[in-house]
Amino acid sequence: MAVALFPLLDGETLGSNLGRYSDSIGAESTLRLRCRLFGYPCKPDTRLPSGINHLAEQTRDYWGLTPEQILKTGTEFYYATATMSAEQRELMFAALLEQPGSRTFRRSVGGWNAERVPKFRYCEDCLAQWQESGEPDHWLIDHQLTGVYLCFAHSRMLKVAKRGIHQSRTDATVMAMKDVDDEDILPHASSSERAAFLQVARLSAQYRIASGNIPSAAIYCELLRTAGCTWPTGSTDVRAFTGSMVEHFGRNYCQASGLSLIRLATWLKNIEGVGTGGESSHPFMFICAMSMLNALCAAPGTFTPAIRNKDANIAEVPTAKVYDDFYQNKEGFRCRGLLHRANDAWRKDLSDCEGRLLVCSCGMTYRTFNAERPVETGEIVMTYGERYYDLISMRFADNFIVGGTARRFPLVNPRFSRWARFCGFSVGKTMTPAEIDDLREQWRSIVTNSTPAKRIMSAHQADSRLYRKLYRYDRSWIVQFNKDNKSLNSGWKSGSVGSQILDELPRFRDDSQVT
């Protein structure tokens, strides 16, 4: 006997339809309903269920859809297989029609497990439009795809339902999960970032309904060359590509969607044909890369670093004398920035009381005193522009420390590390009150047992690491404690240079490295 389900709405998820039907009959769970429809215990959070032939048979009197139509209109099948070959897609299609076997050929749509944003997303404008037309609220497939945080129909940021539902037992409806406290996913995104989000949403929706094919690897390689993301030797500049991705989408989007450095680098290797093989890259990577590369190709060489002193007398550097392809001629200066691209050039020539400041479009600012001497990055780099700002942001988002032992960017010099710390990029560490109390007790014990004549200095020599840790996490306490317990005959007056040596020592150490 067929199940009297509600009609499957355009773009509605299967779970949304089953949830609406379950609510109408007062059922607390959709597990039994799913087992009857699919012919096997299918969990509510299954994105690509098997048994589609059985589902079409059970719903033929109310949906009137063929198995092919159900896969196309009610699932992410064509999106999930967008990077597969025709043979792989046919094998997976045939596998989904039948009951799941012990070794069914499958591709996990949820394989992109780095995304931090939950899947229950909705658009307020869509809900208002449905209410006006009398259409029931429902979850849209396109809103749940990886990295889709903007409604392409209304150009509005999506919201995430916060209200918790036992997802392993039932298919929740929009009204059951929607709450007045729900917030936009990325409320502070800039206009350019929102435009990038919108393009990702549109491309994802097109691939979901099989209205387009992901371009070949050869086309992506050509786009990489045109966008300036390759070295003169022809190999891909991984740093330029990753920096451009963060610059295009913003740091918050990369963190939320899971665009980490390792995934970007792996995708580049697969494009170049030097990957380790195995499962093809997720379509989300191709979509994001297409959005970014199209933007770079539309406006090549437009990355201009910010100049703080806008009132300065700025003169354009003659490009013919300073810049000659990637390697500048011997009479000019050579930029050796980590993210310098083939299409970068000198953009600004500033002057101050100490010499000339040359600004490259990659974001590097150099101070030079001798016009005949090439620029050396490690010696006279003054500041780093937005492209480098995004680079270190992504490294910290991926739990890597600038200047540390990470192998992804091994050429970071100490000056860059100090600049990164100055800009506030340091791994946030906290200590519990119990840990701080334990450190205080250790310091009290060391000071008590130290030489009376040089109590604080002796304690510092005995355990300088403990001192620096307290100075970092409990500065006000240790400063006051040392003042109250310093040697009476030390000869240091309050506020003197000698009395400030210990207070300044940790700060001096912090300025020389990023921890």
The pLDDT value given to residue 22: 92
> Binning pLDDT at 50, 70 and 90, where does residue 292 land?
very high
How confident is the model over 42-82, as pLDDT tens digits? 989 888 999 999 999 999 989 999 999 999 899 999 999 99
Residue 49 to residues 99, 281, 486: CA-CA distances in angstroms? 9, 21, 72
Bridge-based pairing state of the strands 346-352 and 381-383: unpaired
Check residue 324 and give its pLDDT. 33
Position 101 scores a pLDDT of 62
**pLDDT tens for residues 256-284?**
999 988 899 889 988 887 555 445 678 99
DSSP string computed for 86-132: HHHHHHHHHHHHS---TT-----GGG-TT--S-S-EE-HHHHHHHHH
Identify the pLDDT of residue 318: 32
- What pLDDT score was predicted for residue 302? 36
Asked whether the beta carbons of 439 and 463 are under 8 A apart, the reply is no
Spatial distance between the Cα atoms of 297 and 293, rounded to a whole number of angstroms: 6
Token pair of 292 as six digits: 């970014």
Q: Binning pLDDT at 50, 70 and 90, where does residue 226 land?
A: confident
pLDDT of res. 102: 47
Digit-coded pLDDT (tens) for 372-424: 454 443 346 677 776 766 655 544 433 333 333 333 333 445 555 555 555 54
Residue 16 has pLDDT above 90, yes or no: yes
Amino acid 473: pLDDT: 83
Least confident of 168-182, 218-232, 286-300, 352-366: 352-366
In this prediction, residues 121-137 reach a mean pLDDT of 95
Residue 156, pLDDT above cutoff 50: yes
Q: Is the pLDDT of residue 106 over 80?
A: no
Kindly report the average pLDDT of the chain as a whole number: 76
Percent of the chain with pLDDT over 70: 68
| pLDDT for 166 | 59
Predicted confidence at residue 173, as pLDDT, reads: 92
Q: What pLDDT, in 10s, does the model give residues 301-360?
A: 333 333 333 332 223 333 333 333 333 332 356 776 666 666 777 776 665 555 667 788
Question: What does residue 12 show for φ and ψ, rounded to 5 degrees?
Answer: -80, 145
Q: Give the number of residues written for the chain.
A: 515
Instruction: Give the confidence band of 162 by pLDDT, cuts at 50, 70, 90.
Output: confident
Which pLDDT score, from 0 to 100, does residue 492 have?
45
| SS3 at position 231 | coil
The per-residue pLDDT for range 186-200, each reduced to its tens digit, is 999 999 999 999 999
Nearest to 478 by CA among 488, 464, 498: 464
Query: And the tokens for 259?
Result: 């665009």
Beta bridge partners of 108: none
Q: Tell me how far apart the alpha carbons of residues 403 and 425 are, in angstroms, rounded to a whole number.
A: 12
230 confidence band (pLDDT: 50, 70, 90): confident
pLDDT of residue 99: 83
Confidence (pTM)? 0.59
* Residue 19, CA distances (Å) to 2, 9, 171 in order: 17, 13, 5
With 0-12 CB in 10 A as exposed, 13-18 as middle and 19+ as buried, what is 246?
buried
On the question of pLDDT at 215 being above 80, the answer is: yes
pLDDT for 395 equals 47
Backbone φ and ψ for 368, nearest 5 degrees, come out as -130, 145
* Collapsed DSSP state (helix, strand, coil) of residue 347: strand
